Amino acid sequence: MAQKPKQTGQLLRSLFASQRLCVLSTQGAGQPYSSLVAFAETEDLRYVLFATLRATRKYANMCADPRVALLIDTRSNQVADFRDAVAVTITGKAEEVHGDERTRLLRCYLAKHPQLAEFVSLQECALLRVQVTDSIIARFSENTGPGTAP
């Protein structure tokens, strides 16, 4: 069932407000790679932000190929997830932000994750933004049934 843009924005805002972590997928050497990252979103929902050390595999992968996917979901590892879980996959390109832009977006990121202030202040820590090019909303219950794989 297609969502109207206003409904989609409301659902995304609600989902993002309820979650602090997401799964980041990158690729390197022809192999997908997934990581758990703390994320924040900009008010206009155009960007998703996360921080990582520049020495990580995910950072190297994004330098080689900035295309990423982010999975944000409501699962709780309970049976009810088969009925109630909602997930959004966001695709876009990741880029490190610098200067005034980093300062501005860092305020947004730290508003959601104040406990990471020391981490993001490290010289070797990069703040990345993913410009959202697509968001695909799925409910487990709508994607399963006779003849379909979960």
Say how many CA atoms lie within 13 Å of 140 toward its Cβ: 15
Helix (H) or strand (E) holding 67: strand 67-73
Here the tokens at position 81 are 């997830």
Judge whether 47 and 130 are in contact, CB under 8 Å. yes
pLDDT in tens, 103-150: 999 999 999 999 999 999 999 999 999 999 998 888 766 654 333 333
Where are the domains positioned within the chain?
Answer: 5-142
The CATH number of 5-142, from 1.20.1440.230, 3.20.20.10, 2.30.110.10, 3.40.640.10, is: 2.30.110.10
pLDDT in tens, 39-71: 999 999 999 999 999 999 999 999 999 999 999
